[in-house]
Structure 1
Amino acid sequence: MPWSEALTPVRMRRVALVVPHAALRDTLVRIAEAGCVELDRVEEATPGPAARRLQRLEGHPAAVPPGTTGAPSAAREAPVLALSAPDLDTLQRQRRLGMLAGEAQLEERTRGAVLRGEVAALAGWCPAAEVPRLAWRLAAAGGALVPLPTPPGADPPTLLRSAPSASFAPLVTTYGTPPYADVDPSWPAGITYVAMFGIMFGDVGHGALLLLGALALRLGRPRRLARLSRLWPFLAGAGLSAMLAGAAYGDFFGPTGVLPVLWLSPLKSPARLLAAAVVFGAGLLAVAHAAGAVNRWREGGAGKALYAASGCAGLLFFLGFGLSAAGLALHRSAAAVLGAGLALAGLALVAVGLYRATAGGLAGLAETGVRLLDVVVRAGTNTVSFARLAAFGLTHAALADLVWRGTTGLAGRGAAGAAGALVVFVVGTAASLALEALVAGVQALRLEFYEIFSRIFETEGRPFRPWHVPSAAAADAETEVTRCSPG
């Protein structure tokens, strides 16, 4: 897959489902089995016959299995669809809530069909790559899936790709659904996250334990965590990043002396680590600004990309701001002056964009001034915020050093001391591992969301929600029709 496709959501096609009215049910059952199409839905409060029967059963005490509380049993029985139209009264008498729920969904989609003589048509969205396969599947029922041009101003739903970033996609979707026009930053965001985690959790021994945990998840152990097994690459990446940072720090379960210091020791060079963290954060923010500029271009064209604070203007200001700060820190007056000029040019462009979004006049000028001040303040505070990478890295190193000092202090005091040293090492390592892994995970997530994603995204899209209900035959046979793949 080309990298340009890996950085964008799955391409969607507007499609029309055209079918003889007599074959509408069979075609909709096939659509529901495939789970590839998000059909347009009609907002209508009046429930159909199946929905009314389902509502009556939900309110009947016998519909709730003994010993259960809370949600109605229909919420616990998965909807299924019969291949042919069932007798709804029989389903109600037999309390077939799953089949009634499936029929209620079918009724809702059927109401969205447009009828012209003997032909029915529905519209929706489908992943472009799945259109040929689904069209072939529907042809067997006498239906046709017709690609349509995307209507002007339409907002296609967003579906993030399943590879190579499935383990990292929750980072993005937890923040929000990217607009369809925007880039999909799942795997860059995942790499950034594990890199920041490693800086704060740098220890070869602790990282190796995380790798072992990833291997256990991959093997489905423990079983109660089997549902999280797809996140094993995420945990493995965090462990590998921690091991690389630990090798740079020379830490193996603390400053044990097992490994040489390849770069710096956090406890001996804290100022250097803090400076490196801020520079690293500035680089990430510059990349985030560049991604934001691409998104603004894709969302609104060159004008929006040029003047937006999260677009080219903001990128120019941030680069100038960083160059000027570096020039002052290194006593390079030419670089400082050039950076200040670039920053002022960027601010001027941002001001034009902000003012154009106001009602104009003095009130618009005042609003523009306040928002410009916010842009300047955020550029500084967000950059300095990355110092927390070094701060929590120092905390992790200090805790590991404390555990190691306690271990070595007890180890030379006979058999009792050796036993105590083992207890201190095991308990201390477990405590610091759990505490620092939690802290590093939360802090990396905070930096990802508030400093990076706030520059990449301005609006939120809507997720792709295909209609998927298995047929009763597939459910009874415990098989599943191959569903569409996100790519």
Structure 2
Amino acid sequence: MSRAEVARPVRMQRVAIVAPQATLRDALVRIAEAGNVEIDRIDDPAHAAPGPAARRLQRLRTQSADAVLCAAPPDLDALEQAGRADLLAGEAQLEERIAGAVRRGTMAALAGWCPAAEVHPTAARLTDIGGVLVPLPPPGGTDPPTLLRFTGPVRRSFAPLVRTYGTVPYADVDPTLPAGIVYVVMFGVMFGDAGHGALLLLAALLLYLGRPRRLAPLRRLWPFVAGAGLASALAGIAYGEFFGPTGVLPVLWLNPLAQPMRLLAAAVALGAVLLALAYGVGTVNRWREGGPANALYAASGIAGAALFLGLAVLVAGAYLGHADYALGGAALALTGLALAGSGLFTASAGGVGGAVQTGVQLFDVVVRIGSNVVSFARLAAFGLTHAALGEIVWHGTTGLADRGPGALLMAVLVFTVGNALAFALEALVAGVQALRLEFYELFSRVFETQGRPFRPWQVPVQHTPVQHTPVPHTEVAS
């Protein structure tokens, strides 16, 4: 698999399930068991009436059950008498899809989507019953559903970041891996303490081992926690922080409390680099979504990138006293502004109203660039807060340690409880702030629209004969 394929959603193929009406049920059972075809749902009141299985399921009045399909057509009355809500639920889903089939003569067909690599294996499941899975051209104006590749533990652990924001459009780049890396880096800058980072690494190890058992459902997040712990530990080593300014580690880069302006400048510079990368990914996405013209004029594409870089060069040139750089940056910024304005005006209603709307939108674009860059100062602000809390705890500890055995025990208590509170508070704050920067400053440039998730129809199939012995079931009061 090429890098280009890994960096985008799974390629989808429009398909039609075609089978003789006599074997349509068997074909759909095999499709459900394969679980890799999303069948189009028909929003038609004529198909909304419940079928025989759905009506029997309603009469059971049981709590919701996971659907299961019978390999062979079952006796619905016997299923109802036996209280088999799972099998009735599976048959109800099957009825709904059979009702949506298009029929011509002795044949029936349904349309849907399937991962391109799964078309031939899925089609092979239908050949012995006379069914076929026919590739079709995608319908105009309709984007395929999105299925991302979560093939490794690292990608799977970073997946909630993107899913929480929304569904990646089918044409766009899959940002899961870089988004996760950026998140843990920003978290580490704000949570910079080698001791606290080591605790996160220990937590990641426990998650990997499945301990404690009640946290076993979170096991897949261990690479995410490990990445955050490693970034925090490295930042702590750079700051000379180990459970606060204990002197265990030397300062390799800067002391946050002694050099706050240097940390602030570094945070803003890091934010500028991340914004430039976001513009790059946004340009690629705009090109894939609407071609080169869309990428050129979009405020999150080349036009926005030119405006951003031009303003950055202008400010840097003015600060350093290089007039030629400042003029070059101004020219680049004006070019980007003109391109973005052309795109915005074209998308408006035109005329005076369109011009006013474009002016307001351009002003908003410029203000957002400035506010987004400055927003990354919070990396330094919360890094300073973490260091300040660590210093308060350490000063309280050292102030008690030399006052006798009783005070020494109090010092240990202050150190332990203080670090526990600082760890919990700063982990929460740094986690929320890193998420905010990811969503509002970066993803707002990477994405302009939302995609639709790929939802294949997947139901387990029971191949053994159905037992018709009645079983007790819990009724819910109507």
TM-score (norm 1): 0.92
Q: Which runs of 5+ in 1 are unaligned?
A: 64-72, 477-487
CA distance in 2, matches of 1:203, 1:375: 36
The alpha-carbon deviation at position 141 of structure 1 amounts to 4.2
The alpha-carbon deviation at position 474 of structure 1 amounts to 8.5
When residues 289 and 27 of structure 1 are mapped into structure 2, their CA distance, relative to the original with a 3 A threshold, is: same
Structure 1 residues 265-320: Cα deviation after superposition (integer angstroms, max 9, x where no partner): 10110000001100100111111111111111111111111111111100100000
CA distance in 2, matches of 1:19, 1:208: 59
- State the AA in 2 paired with 1:42: I
Counterpart for residue 476 of structure 2: none
Counterpart for residue 36 of structure 1: 36
Counterpart for residue 471 of structure 2: none
Map 1:123-138 to 2 at 5 A: 123-138=111-126
The structure 2 residue matched to 1:110, chosen from 84, 98, 120, is 98
1:319–1:343 Cα contact (<8 Å) kept:
yes
The structure 1 residue matched to 2:48, chosen from 41, 45, 68, is 45
CA distance in 1, matches of 2:250, 2:117: 52
Matched, 1:328 2:321: no
Matched, 1:168 2:168: no
The alpha-carbon deviation at position 432 of structure 1 amounts to 0.7
1:40–1:122 Cα contact (<8 Å) kept:
yes
CA distance in 2, matches of 1:359, 1:147: 40
Secondary structure of the structure 2 residue equivalent to 1:202: coil
Matched, 1:55 2:58: yes
Counterpart for residue 473 of structure 2: none
The alpha-carbon deviation at position 185 of structure 1 amounts to 0.5
- State the AA in 1 paired with 2:93: Q
The structure 1 residue matched to 2:180, chosen from 185, 190, 193, is 190
Matched, 1:459 2:449: yes
The alpha-carbon deviation at position 3 of structure 1 amounts to 2.3
The alpha-carbon deviation at position 413 of structure 1 amounts to 2.2
Secondary structure of the structure 1 residue equivalent to 2:125: helix
1:410–1:417 Cα contact (<8 Å) kept:
yes
1:39–1:466 Cα contact (<8 Å) kept:
yes
The alpha-carbon deviation at position 414 of structure 1 amounts to 2.3
The alpha-carbon deviation at position 18 of structure 1 amounts to 1.9
Matched, 1:231 2:218: no
1:408–1:421 Cα contact (<8 Å) kept:
yes
Structure 1 residues 356-397: Cα deviation after superposition (integer angstroms, max 9, x where no partner): 111111111110110010011001001000000000000001
1:197–1:440 Cα contact (<8 Å) kept:
yes
Counterpart for residue 267 of structure 2: 277
- State the AA in 2 paired with 1:33: E
Matched, 1:319 2:313: no
CA distance in 1, matches of 2:255, 2:127: 67
Q: Which runs of 5+ in 2 are unaligned?
A: 467-478
The structure 2 residue matched to 1:396, chosen from 353, 375, 386, is 386
Q: CA RMSD in A?
A: 1.5
Map 1:13-92 to 2 at 5 A: 13-43=13-43, 44-58=47-61, 63=62, 73-74=63-64, 77-92=65-80
CA distance in 1, matches of 2:321, 2:167: 44
Structure 1 residues 175-211: Cα deviation after superposition (integer angstroms, max 9, x where no partner): 1111101111011100000000000001111011001
The alpha-carbon deviation at position 10 of structure 1 amounts to 0.8
Matched, 1:10 2:10: yes
1:199–1:242 Cα contact (<8 Å) kept:
yes
Structure 1 residues 425-469: Cα deviation after superposition (integer angstroms, max 9, x where no partner): 111111111110000000000000001011111111110001111
The alpha-carbon deviation at position 140 of structure 1 amounts to 4.4
1:42–1:108 Cα contact (<8 Å) kept:
no
- State the AA in 2 paired with 1:119: M
The structure 2 residue matched to 1:439, chosen from 410, 429, 454, is 429
Secondary structure of the structure 2 residue equivalent to 1:84: coil
Aligned residues: 461
- State the AA in 2 paired with 1:181: A
CA distance in 1, matches of 2:330, 2:216: 54
Matched, 1:356 2:346: yes
CA distance in 2, matches of 1:426, 1:371: 52
Counterpart for residue 265 of structure 1: 255
Secondary structure of the structure 2 residue equivalent to 1:13: strand
CA distance in 2, matches of 1:209, 1:138: 53
Deviates more, 1:467-476 or 1:194-203: 467-476
Counterpart for residue 205 of structure 1: 195
CA distance in 1, matches of 2:33, 2:24: 14
Counterpart for residue 344 of structure 1: 334
1:80–1:475 Cα contact (<8 Å) kept:
no
TM-score (norm 2): 0.94
The alpha-carbon deviation at position 473 of structure 1 amounts to 4.2
CA distance in 2, matches of 1:145, 1:374: 50
The alpha-carbon deviation at position 57 of structure 1 amounts to 2.3
CA distance in 2, matches of 1:50, 1:146: 29
- State the AA in 2 paired with 1:285: L
Q: Percent identity?
A: 66
CA distance in 2, matches of 1:2, 1:396: 42
Map 1:246-265 to 2 at 5 A: 246-265=236-255
The structure 2 residue matched to 1:180, chosen from 170, 181, 187, is 170
The alpha-carbon deviation at position 114 of structure 1 amounts to 1.9
1:42–1:111 Cα contact (<8 Å) kept:
no
